[in-house]
Amino acid sequence: MKKLILIFPLLLFSLGTELTAQKINEGVYLTAKDFTNSKVSFVNDQINSKYKIHLNEIFNSPKIKIIKGDSVIKLNKESVFGYCDKKNNSYRYYNKAEYKIINPSEKILLYSKPSMEGGFRSSHAVTNFYFSQDATSPIYALTKSNLKEVFLKDVAFIELLNVYFDSDKDLSAYDNINKGYMLNRVYELSQQKTTMVSNN
């Protein structure tokens, strides 16, 4: 009997710890700074609370509606940076479009956006890639020419772009060894090269 009494509190403690660890980050990034600092507003922080984000993407609504408990919050998409969904995927709103941020922790942000290409009978889904210099910068199609224009003054980076990437399709490659996107790895190498030149 004593063994049962000892085990029961341990089970309760274990369950309580597991529930506490299940933090939900779903919510809205009000600004680019909030995104950079991983600060989410109107977050789903209560496991048993009524919570729902209505993005209204099908009807292309300009507003986000958040239901949190008994409160209903409406935000203009143009006035916020983006949002984080319940799977911890981050998205940015830019020029009335939504872009998925595929590398939120890296310097040069990369985005993906699906679209349909082809005619009526040959239509198929494709994923297009984009980039921005940082969270506050404009979004451009991910091409070598656009990168060279945005990073015009970064001579070392432009030189390495030509060395490491043969075509635009290579720019979205993932580096499994360093656990990051090759583009940012090349950017880091260019900064190291610039620092070495400056010190000599």
Residues 20-44: what's their mean pLDDT? 85
Beta strands in 26-121 (DSSP E): 27-29, 51-54, 63-68, 71-76, 82-84, 90-94, 97-101, 109-117
pLDDT at 2: 46
Distances (CA, A) of 141 to 13, 120, 126, 138, 152: 50, 25, 14, 10, 16
In the chain, domain spans:
25-96
Longest CA–CA span in the chain (Å) reads 76
Q: How far apart are CA 131 and CA 142, in angstroms?
A: 6
Q: How far apart are CA 10 and CA 16, in angstroms?
A: 10
The tens digit of pLDDT for each residue in 165-185 reads 999 999 999 999 888 999 999
DSSP for 140-189? EE--HHHHHHHTTT-HHHHHHHHHH-SSGGGGG-EETTTTEEHHHHHHHH
Q: What is the pTM of this model?
A: 0.81
pLDDT at 15: 42
The tens digit of pLDDT for each residue in 35-58 reads 999 999 998 876 667 888 988 766
Average pLDDT, the chain: 84
- One-letter amino acid identity for 61? S
3-state secondary structure 112-133: EEEEEECCCCCCEEEEEEEEEC
CB 108 within 8 A of CB 132: yes
